[in-house]
Structure 1
Amino acid sequence: MTHIPQAWAHLPFFTDRYPQIATHLAGADDVLPPAHLRFAALSAVTPADVRVVILGQDPYPTAGHGNGLAFSVNANVTPLPRSLGNIFKELQNDLDDTPTSGDLSHWAAQGVLLLNTALSVREGQAGSHAKQGWEHLAREVLDLTSQRPTAYILWGRHAQGLRKYIGAGDHLLIETSHPSPLSARRGFFGSRPFSQVNDWLRARDLRPIDWIGKSNQS
C-alpha cells in the first residue's frame, strides 16, 4: 500500500491527479519501486526541512536498484548505475571523496530532496510512466519549496524544463548537462555542484551538507 506523506498531503496533486494514477498502477506486479517506497523522497524530507532539491527523471527500471530517492540505489547495489557513478566521479573531483555506497538517504536526512518527476516505472522500460501525470506533483513541490530560499540542482533538459515552476526568490540554481554517460562530458563534469551548494549555505550562515556521510554509513 502506498502511503501519502502527511506533510505534503495538502498539495492539490493528491486529490486532483493521484487517484487516477493509483488506479492505473493498482494490481500491476511489474512496477518499480515497490509501492511502499513510491513517496520515499517526500517521506524523508518535510517541506519545512528542504534545503536542496535535486530533480531526477524516473526511477531505475531494474528490480532491487531504486529506493525511492532520485539517483539513489540500495546500499548493496554494485556496480553503480552509470549516472550515479558519474555523480560519484564529480564528488571525488569536487570534494576529494565519495560515499561508501550508492544509498543517498544520508543526503535526504540533511534536507536534500531527491525527487524524480515520475515516481514509478515499468520494470525494464525506462521512461514508461513519464506521461502518467506524475509531473504535476513535481511542479507543485517546486512551487512550494521555492517559497523560501532553496538550492536547486537541475541536471539535463528534462529537469531544466521545470525551472519555470520555481518561484522568484533568493535561490541557488545550478543547471548543467545530465550525469548520464551520453552527456556528462558536456558540462556536468567539472561543475562542482556540491561545493557550490555548500558555499551558498555557508554564506547564509546555514549548515553545509555532508555529501560524503561516511560516519553515517556502515
Structure 2
Amino acid sequence: MIFYIRGASTVMGNQWTEWLHQEWKKEYFLKLSKFLKNAYETKEIYPPKQQVFSAFQHCDYSDIKVVILGQDPYHQKGQAHGLCFSVNPGVKIPPSLLNMYKELQTEYGYPIPNNGYLV
C-alpha cells in the first residue's frame, strides 16, 4: 500500500497498515499531516519526508516487544532516516545511541557495534 501524508509517501505492506488505517482518518492525524506538510515546505526537516514512516517497513506490529522513546531528535543532515536512534551507515554513532550500546555491553556483554545502523 502507498500511504500519502500530504506529499510524503511511504510503502507499508505489513500489519502496520491494518493497525493504523483508522488512525489516519482521525482529526489529530489530519492536523499532524497538515503541520508536517507545511514544515517540509518551509523548513529543512529530518528525516526526508519519504522516510518519515520507514520504521514500519522493518518490523510487523506483532513483533514489537519494547518501545524506547527519545527526547533528542537528530538534527544534522544525514543522521535521521526514520528509525529512532539509528543513523545511516558511515554516520558517526550519536551519543544517545552510544550510551545505549554501553548499557547493553555492561548489562549483557553485548559488543559495541562499529556503526549506528539499527536495521
Does structure 1 conserve the Cα–Cα contact (< 8 Å) formed by 2:101 and 2:112? yes
Query: Larger % of strand: which?
Result: 1
Structure 1 44/57 Cα, relative in aligned 2: closer, same or farther at 3 Å?
A: farther
CA apart distance, 1:11: 4.2
Q: Does 1:3 align with 2:1?
A: no
Q: Does 1:44 align with 2:82?
A: no
1:2 is aligned with what amino acid?
S
Q: Which has the higher contact order (CA 8 A, sep 6+)?
A: 1
Query: Aligned runs of 1:28-177 on 2, under 5 Å?
Result: 28-57=42-71, 59-78=73-92, 80-94=93-107, 95-105=109-119
Does structure 1 conserve the Cα–Cα contact (< 8 Å) formed by 2:46 and 2:81? no
Other-structure match for 1:129: none
Could you report, residue by residue, the CA deviation over 1:28-65 in whole angstroms, capped at 9, with x for unpaired residues? 34111111111122222221222332222363111101
CA apart distance, 1:97: 0.8
Question: How far apart, CA to CA, are the structure 1 residues paired with 2:33 and 2:71?
Answer: 19
Question: How far apart, CA to CA, are the structure 2 residues paired with 1:39 and 1:45?
Answer: 12
TM (normalized to structure 2)?
0.71
Question: How far apart, CA to CA, are the structure 2 residues paired with 1:47 and 1:55?
Answer: 17
Does structure 2 conserve the Cα–Cα contact (< 8 Å) formed by 1:7 and 1:47? no
Aligned with 1:2: secondary structure?
A: strand
Segments of 5+ residues of structure 1 without an aligned counterpart are 106-218
After superposing on structure 2, the runs of 4+ consecutive aligned residues of structure 1 that deviate more than 4 Å are none
Structure 1 54/8 Cα, relative in aligned 2: closer, same or farther at 3 Å?
A: same
TM (normalized to structure 1)?
0.42
Aligned with 2:32: secondary structure?
A: helix
Percentage of identical aligned residues? 35
Report how many aligned residue pairs link the two structures: 103
RMSD: 2.1
Structure 1 39/57 Cα, relative in aligned 2: closer, same or farther at 3 Å?
A: farther
Could you report, residue by residue, the CA deviation over 1:140-173 in whole angstroms, capped at 9, with x for unpaired residues? xxxxxxxxxxxxxxxxxxxxxxxxxxxxxxxxxx
Does structure 1 conserve the Cα–Cα contact (< 8 Å) formed by 2:10 and 2:54? no
Query: Larger % of helix: which?
Result: 2
